[in-house]
Amino acid sequence: MGIKYKVNRLETTNEIRPLVDKHWEELRTAKDRGEKVAWASGPTFIFAYAMGMKCHFMAGYSAYCGGIGAGEEVLKVAEMTGDLPESCSYHRLHMGMAEAVARDIPINPQAILPMPDLMVAGRLCPEMSHYAEGLNRRFGIRVLPVDLPSVYNIEDAPRIREFVYRQFKETVIPTVEDVCGKPFDYDRMSEILSVLKKVATLRNQCWEYFKEKPSRWTLWDYGVSIAPVFYMMGNPAGITYYEKLLKELQDRKKNNIPAIAPDGEKYRLYWDGWLPWAFLGKFMRKFTPHGAVCICGRYPWEFFPNPELIDPENPVESWADLYYGNGQLIHHFSPRGTVDLIGNLIEDYSIDGLLMFSSKTCRIMNLSQPDIIDTLDKKYGVPGVIVEGDMIDPAMISDSQIETRLEALYEMIDSRRK
Amino acid sequence: MKNVLSKITDIVSDPYAFVGSVREQTGKKVIGCFPMHVPEELVHAAGMLPVVIWRSNEAVTWGHAHVPAYDCGITRSFVDDAVRGKLPFMDGMVFHVRQCLQAGEFPYIMERNVKPAYQKNLYLPALYPGEAIKDFTITELDVFKTSLEEFSGNKITDEKLKESFEIYNLNRSLLERVYEIRREKPEILKAKEMMQIVWSSMLMPKEDHNKILTELISKMEAKEVIPDKTRIRVIPVGGLCQTIQPDILDLIEDLGMIIPDDDLYVGSRYFANKVSLDGDPIDALAKRYLTKSPLCPTKGVWDIHWGDEAIKKMNDNNARGIISIMIKYCPPHACYYPDFKSKMDKEGINEIMIQVEHEIISLESVKTRLQTFVEILGGV
């Protein structure tokens, strides 16, 4: 008789939902308090935060919508108002939500945000510009666009870093000053980075418990804990959260409690691409009976893996450097950077197999995935499969396709163990 | 005229053989430039032959081992051609990797599977406000220029570059003249012939194409055409990056419509805007790239509306409707389209959208949609 695997749930992660709900609640009610509201895409919201604006984050809002089960109804509004199903589902979510508000179409009230005073459109991918352009055309929302090129060749990074830094100084800061009617608050930006540095340092200590065999927690646990290292940055509640999480992981180690009962995981997997926010449970139910667990991934590792590089004393320079300078975060969006990153993760976290999630509507992390699998397989002997789907849109998810690919991956791992 | 068109048809019927033969005859290196914004003039001034990368007329096979089925036609088709070894004549490849996400597929796949002697990624910015955008465009063009000099071994002097501008500007003027004649006598060319004329410009040395166009224009000017007043004038819009299936263009005409002008990439968009011969040539190239019209949805422009441009073109040509031709899985067009459609509705313009794929599509369903459209326009 086979082993009956089940997930040992962490207690601390139960505390993230109230924090996240509070964050979005404060954003929803900001205008009632006379506060300015911004929407942001790419890593640009920190400039709005520094000015005391309440700010949304494109992927964060989409994750939240998916997490509260509102994705499907908002996507339906987008389709009804003209968007094509092949367009980026994050793009469609925002157009759908804005149209629902404008046309008074009832949707889950928790999914509704106030229309912004400013859209900070960080063009990490072109779609992050397209949705801002669309909202401007339809609703006249003021747009602050910032071009944020992903860097394919690392030697191109220095000149792109200068370009991005100049946009921060010459366009972003003057515009938020204009919208808020006050000088840019460099001190507040420094404070935000100080808190972020502490949270990311604690988070890295938690990452150490992924390295253990058996792992003490799952990538999905970390996935739901991402907000404090990103759109909740600067909120000291993030420090308390990660201190508690670290303590729980330490206790698990002390008491030899694995993430997967009874004795730990059979397959340690790497997850590539966006986390499938609306389908985390669905995927978990497909992993666990096989003793499979996702340990690490590209998107979740994007959030300041090197907190020692965060320099609160020079906030704007540091922000540019984290992405384009010594931090090189932007390089991980290109296939070359991806190969380097995954290679390191395979070794650091003893990965058995690669699960490459290919979103049918967002290609930012899909690029060259079959070739990346082949490169890594040849170098590390670790097999991989591609699973097609979407972050939010249930119409793009096929259970049988996912199961077939996962079974193929498990079989490949097994055959190489013999 | 028939002979000139026949020559053009031969070229576009087998661009692989044609480009390969030019390479052999001239001894020039061939640089494939991914559509739509790589400045070919720089490649030309380096003494090499720039060709715009094209979509094949074969179904994708091996390419699907490298890119998903939900990438656009030219992405899948070009990868397929490359990994199948159909492009041995292409010494170099240039990709503007910021144009759309799918353009980012190429660099790793090519350097790993094809290994062209020269491969360059451009990071041309979106057309956002601010001096940094302009300066970065110039920086990118300078970096591109230097890399071409290193690969070709030829110095790109300002004089050489301006000579290339003159040749390219002449080609633009000649193509504009062809379009002008077609506007006066739309029956003179079939839509697919017009597309082939522009496509051949993307494949041929511009000097040779200029000669062909000069001959074609004289024949077109001399030719008398009996106007067919029963035909309904329509303007096709879109078709970004790639050629449209000729069958679809034929279908439009077979259903009683006629195309006096277009807003297609393998059409009027390709030759829009000349490069200034005044001042610093790199600045001039940057200025052309930074020009907002014709609006390209890949460039991040929102202070002018694509719909307004299309309506103007429709009115200028006394056309009665617009046919949006969207390449399946083209995110920039797909994201823009709802606002384009709204503009058409708001202004009371008759418009229909048809999606086209790389592979053979169901012409029957397209035909039904176009038949309905022509009936709405008052034809048939």
**Across B160-176, average pLDDT:** 98
Measured distance CA(B90)–CA(B98) in Å, rounded: 22
Domains along chain A? 15-174 (3.40.50.11890), 189-203+212-417 (3.40.50.11900)
The answer to whether A79 and A91 are in contact (CB under 8 A) is: no
Q: Is the pLDDT of residue B362 over 90?
A: no
Nearest-Cα distance to chain B for A213, in Å, is 34
Residues in chain A within 8 Å Cβ distance of B104: 150, 152, 334-335, 363, 367
* Mutation for A interface: B83, B100, B328, B335, most A CBs within 10 A: B335
pLDDT for position A387 = 96
Helix axes B331-346, A126-139, angle to 10 degrees: 10
Inter-chain residue contact B338 with A149, CB threshold 8 Å:
no
| Per-residue model confidence (pLDDT) at position B379 | 65
Q: Which residue has the tokens 């796949």?
A: B109
Q: Do the Cβ atoms of B101 and A363 come within 8 Å?
A: yes
- Backbone φ and ψ for B160, nearest 5 degrees, come out as -60, -40
Chain A residue numbers touching B338 (CB-CB < 8 A):
81-84, 95, 134
Between positions 74 and 133 of A, the ones with CB within 8 A of B are: 81-84, 86-88, 91, 95, 123, 125-127, 129-133
Distances (CA, A) of B6 to A177, B1, B249, B271: 62, 8, 18, 22
CB-defined contacts A:B, below 8 A: 152
A139 has a chain B CB within 8 A of its CB: no
Hey, what are B41's tokens?
């003039």
What is the chain A residue with the closest CA to B107?
A152
User: Using CB atoms, which residue from A82, A160, A371 is nearest to B66?
Assistant: A371
- Render each residue's pLDDT in chain A as its tens digit; 418 residues: 589 999 999 999 999 999 999 999 999 999 999 999 999 998 899 999 999 999 999 988 998 898 889 999 999 999 999 999 999 999 999 999 999 999 999 999 999 999 999 999 999 999 899 999 999 999 999 999 999 999 999 999 999 999 999 999 999 999 999 999 999 999 999 999 999 999 999 999 999 999 999 999 999 999 999 999 999 999 999 999 999 999 999 999 999 999 999 999 999 999 999 999 889 999 999 999 999 999 999 999 999 999 999 999 999 999 999 999 887 888 888 999 999 999 999 999 999 999 999 999 998 889 999 999 999 999 999 999 999 999 999 999 999 999 999 999 999 999 998 7
CB contact under 8 Å between B125 and A95, yes or no, is: no
> Does A163 sit within 8 Å of B132, measured CB to CB?
yes
| Residue in B closest to A367 by C-alpha | B105
String of b and e for A390-402 (b: at least 16 CB within 10 Å)?
bbbbeebbeeeeb
Q: Could you tell me if A174 lies within 8 Å of chain B, comparing CB atoms?
A: no
Chain A residues touching B130 at Cβ < 8 A: 167, 170-171
> Is the Cβ of A379 closer than 8 Å to some Cβ of chain B?
no
Q: Hey, is the C-beta of A340 within 8 angstroms of any chain B C-beta?
A: no
A176-185, B243-252, B359-368: least confident range: B359-368
Which residues of chain B are within 8 Å of residue A147 when distances are taken between CB atoms? 98, 125-126, 128, 133, 136, 300
Mutate to test the interface with B, among A164, A366, A374, A396 (most CBs of B within 10 A): A366
CA–CA separation, B95 and B121 (whole Å): 5
CA dist., res. A108 & res. B159, Å (int): 64
- Please name the amino acid found at residue A151: V
Instruction: Give B324's DSSP letter.
Output: E
Is the CB of B112 less than 8 angstroms away from the CB of A126?
A: no
A371:B297 CB<8 A: no
Q: Which residues of A touch B334 (CB under 8 A)?
A: 84, 86-87
Q: Cα-flanking dihedrals φ and ψ of residue B296, to 5°?
A: -115, 120
Mean pLDDT computed over every residue of chain B: 96
Instruction: Single out the residue of A301, A191, A239 nearest to residue A19, CA to CA.
Output: A239
Question: Where in chain B are the domains?
Answer: 2-159
Looking at CA atoms only, how far is residue A63 from chain B in angstroms?
20
* Contact check, Cβ <8 Å, A368/B108: yes
- Are A355 and A269 a contacting pair, CB within 8 Å? yes
- The residue among B302, B328, B340, B357 with the most chain A CBs within 10 A of its CB, best to mutate, is B302
Closest chain A residue to B79 measured between Cα atoms? Answer: A368
ipTM surpasses 0.90:
yes
- If you measure CA to CA, which chain B residue comes closest to A364? B101
The two structure tokens encoding residue B337: 């389209």
CB-CB under 8 Å, A145 with B126: yes
Residues 6+ apart with CB under 8 A from B338: A81, A82, A83, A84, A95, A134
Q: Region B219-242: what's the mean pLDDT?
A: 95
| Whole-number percent of chain B with pLDDT over 70 | 99
Q: Quote helix, strand, coil % in chain B, to nearest 5.
A: 55, 10, 35
Q: How far is B105 from chain A (nearest CA, A)?
A: 5
Q: Which among B66, B70, B143, B150 is the top mutation candidate for probing chain A, defined by the most A β-carbons within 10 Å of its own β-carbon?
A: B70
Q: CB-based burial of residue B272 (10 Å sphere; 0-12 exposed, 13-18 middle, 19+ buried)?
A: middle
**A-chain residues near B329 (CB < 8 A):** 86
Classify domain B2-159 at the CATH class level. Answer: alpha beta
Partnered with residue B52 across adjacent β-strands are: B33
A174, closest residue in chain B (CA to CA): B130
Check whether B57 has a pLDDT greater than 90: no
Average pLDDT over residues B64-85: 96
Q: Which chain B residues contact residue A358 at CB under 8 A?
A: 68
- Residue A155: name the closest of B45, B120, B63 by CA: B120
The C-alpha of A310 sits at a distance from chain B's nearest C-alpha, in angstroms, of 25
Chain B residue whose CA is closest to A387:
B68
Q: Looking at beta carbons, which residues of chain B come within 8 Å of A175?
A: none
Shortest distance between the Cα of A151 and any Cα of chain B, in A, equals 8
Q: What is the pLDDT of residues B293-321, one digit of tens each?
A: 999 999 999 889 999 999 999 999 999 99
Provide, as residue numbers in chain B, all residues whose Cβ is less than 8 Å from the Cβ of A373: none
**DSSP secondary structure of B39-66:** -HHHHHHTT-EEEE----SS---GGGGT
Residue whose structure tokens are 């048939």: B380
CB pair distance less than 8 Å for A133 and B71: no
B99 vs A contacts (CB less than 8 Å):
126
- Whether the Cβ atoms of residue B340 and residue B371 lie closer than 8 Å to each other: no
Chain B environment of A87 (Cβ under 8 Å): 331, 334-335
Residue A74: which residues within 8 A CB-CB, separation 6 or more?
Answer: A65, A92, A93, A96, A97, A100, A107, A108, A111
A336 has a chain B CB within 8 A of its CB: yes
A132, A143 in Cβ contact below 8 A? yes
